[in-house]
Amino acid sequence: MKHAYRNRWVRFHSLPGSKRYPDTADEYTTLLDRYNTILDELFTGQEVYVITCDWSDSPEPGARPDEHTRLQPDARHWTSVRNNPDETDPDFVSYTHLFVSRIVWRRGAVDDLLRSVADDVSGGVMIADSPLERIHHPYDGGSDVLLPTTAERDVLRHRYARWLSSHPEGF
């Protein structure tokens, strides 16, 4: 997102000092507060898609890992994508399987999933509005946010400036 939609993208770090992984209960509280604060700004009261991924060497998804089922019990397979369409060696062909559920956004609704992302147990998570104009992509260390316009991005960036990276390109 940061390259294709640079003028609409912003990254927020989930812990002070750009610390990547939480070690204490207080750091988990800070991390969840930051994730949820941004999510509230984007989606409060709206129906959103919660998108998660599984990966395999098959074009069809297999059984979901128990942890994924626990974190997103209502998810349904949405689509599968071949990761590298030009790959010809069958030993290296792989697929990403996208699963989606819909919820009305409320603070704390996906805290278990966000903790799993923060601990680098789950990856490829996105929370998006139904037109896919606002996308929140949490990762271990923060979140990438895509907004419909540069102006909206700038408002959010300014409001939470203390959560931005000190890197000159915002990474």
Mean pLDDT of 150-164: 96
Pick from 101, 106, 114: nearest CA to 43: 106
| Torsion of the alpha carbons at 50, 108, 41 and 23, rounded to the nearest 10 | -100
Tokens standing for residue 102: 């819909």
How confident is the model over 79-102, as pLDDT tens digits? Answer: 999 999 999 999 999 999 999 999
Distance from C-alpha of 53 to C-alpha of 28, rounded to nearest angstrom? 23
The number of helix segments (H) and strand segments (E) in the chain equals 4, 7
Distance from C-alpha of 41 to C-alpha of 101, rounded to nearest angstrom? 20
Beta-carbon count within 10 A of 86 CB: 5
Distance from C-alpha of 70 to C-alpha of 131, rounded to nearest angstrom? 27
Query: CB–CB of 8/147 below 8 Å?
Result: yes
How confident is the model over 21-61, as pLDDT tens digits? Answer: 999 999 999 999 999 999 999 999 999 999 999 999 999 99
DSSP string over 53-70: EEEESSSS--PPPHHHHH
Helix (H), strand (E) at residue 28: helix 25-43
How confident is the model over 106-155, as pLDDT tens digits? Answer: 999 999 999 999 999 999 999 999 999 999 999 999 999 999 999 999 99
pLDDT score of 167: 72
Query: CB–CB of 8/148 below 8 Å?
Result: yes
If pLDDT is split at 50, 70 and 90, which confidence band does 3 have? confident
